[in-house]
Amino acid sequence: MNSGYVLVTGASTGIGHACASALADKGFHVFAGVRREADGERIRKEIAGKVEPVMLDVTNPEHIVAAKQHITEVAGEKGLRGLVNNAGIAVAAPLEFVPMADFELQMNVNVNGLLAVTQAFLPLLRVASGRICLISSTNGFFAPPFMGPYSASKFAVEALGDSLRVELAPWNIRVSIVQPGAIQTPIWEKSKASNEAMLNRMPAECHALYGRAMDVMRREAQKMANRAVPAGRVADCVVHAITAAKPKTRYLCGGGARTEWLVARWMPDSLRDRIIRMVIGI
């Protein structure tokens, strides 16, 4: 059994919930980041073991300060054994028309928030020679059309992970990047709803220029969602990254991840573009 403290951001549902549950199951005291009191109450009931919800919107500096203060008081000299930077949203739209406010929100949650939380908790992680997990995506190395905002955020997460890994090596703070493919979580439905609302606000020109291709991409996304695997697959990787003597620098997991990696790594860009254009008919 493990002991010690870990923080998981975005633990209300999906991968964060599965990670909080798996880490509590391994004996950790899990601080589970949520944005609503009701979610905190719910996960207390749903997850067995030591799970303590903390109010943490990663874009809210006051939340970060308060969470840091509370966790420092509780964890004390033991420090933080793990930080799982999981909170995320997915903005999908043609880059020509994506409203800058939506693009900024995408980057604020997935990138700026992740870095702000990491900065805040590094002193506590240093005390425990803790581990950091960044939940990236296959979109961290493969950027399909209309997924530009989300992919840009995940490419940035990959860059932060590579830099942090070497910067933090002197203190034996290991950094792992987790690259899930398609995982069964509410993100598919949540982003479908928010992206449709965003597209409804866009000019007719956007729909005239990109509408048909976006319809095809939506159908392709639905096919991916149908092939998605349970979030426990990602949680297994996160548990390994936090507990193994030799954590991996990167974990590929879930629906289609390996195929996407092989395509990104070995297929020439021009061939990949031709295939994507053929599929979406542009």
Can you give the binding site for ligand NAP, defined by CB under 6 A? 9-16, 33, 35, 56-59, 86-90, 109, 113, 135, 137, 180, 182-183, 185-187, 190, 228
Query: If residue 170 lies in a helix (H) or strand (E), which one and from where to where?
Result: none
Among the listed residues 6, 135, 146, the one whose alpha carbon sits nearest the alpha carbon of residue 81: 6
- Give 133's strand partners: 84, 176
**Spacing of C-alpha 202 from chain mean position:** 27
DSSP for 226-240, written as a single string: HT-EETHHHHHHHHH
Choice between 30 and 182, CB closer to ligand NAP:
182
Tell me the C-alpha distance between 120 and 64, whole Å. 7
Choice between 4 and 255, CB closer to ligand NAP:
255
Closest approach of ligand NAP to the CB of residue 207, in Å: 26
**DSSP code of residue 169:** G
Choice between 143 and 206, CB closer to ligand NAP:
143
Among 5, 150, 210, 251, the active-site one is 150
Choice between 246 and 265, CB closer to ligand NAP:
265
Closest approach of ligand NAP to the CB of residue 250, in Å: 13
Is 251 one of the catalytic residues? no
Letter for the amino acid at 120?
A
Closest approach of ligand NAP to the CB of residue 209, in Å: 27
- The residues, any chain, with a CB within 8 Å of residue 186's CB and separated by 6 or more, are 13, 14
Closest approach of ligand NAP to the CB of residue 129, in Å: 25
Tell me the C-alpha distance between 16 and 36, whole Å. 15
Closest approach of ligand NAP to the CB of residue 51, in Å: 14
User: E strands, 40-173, where?
Assistant: 51-55, 82-85, 131-135
Is residue 134 within 8 A of residue 125, CB to CB? The reply is no
Question: To the nearest 5 percent, what fractions of the chain are helix, strand and coil?
Answer: 60, 15, 25
Choice between 100 and 278, CB closer to ligand NAP:
100
Among the listed residues 222, 132, 236, 225, the one whose alpha carbon sits nearest the alpha carbon of residue 183: 225
Closest approach of ligand NAP to the CB of residue 253, in Å: 9
Letter for the amino acid at 62?
E
Tell me the C-alpha distance between 167 and 175, whole Å. 10
Choice between 83 and 228, CB closer to ligand NAP:
228
Annotated catalytic sites, by residue?
150
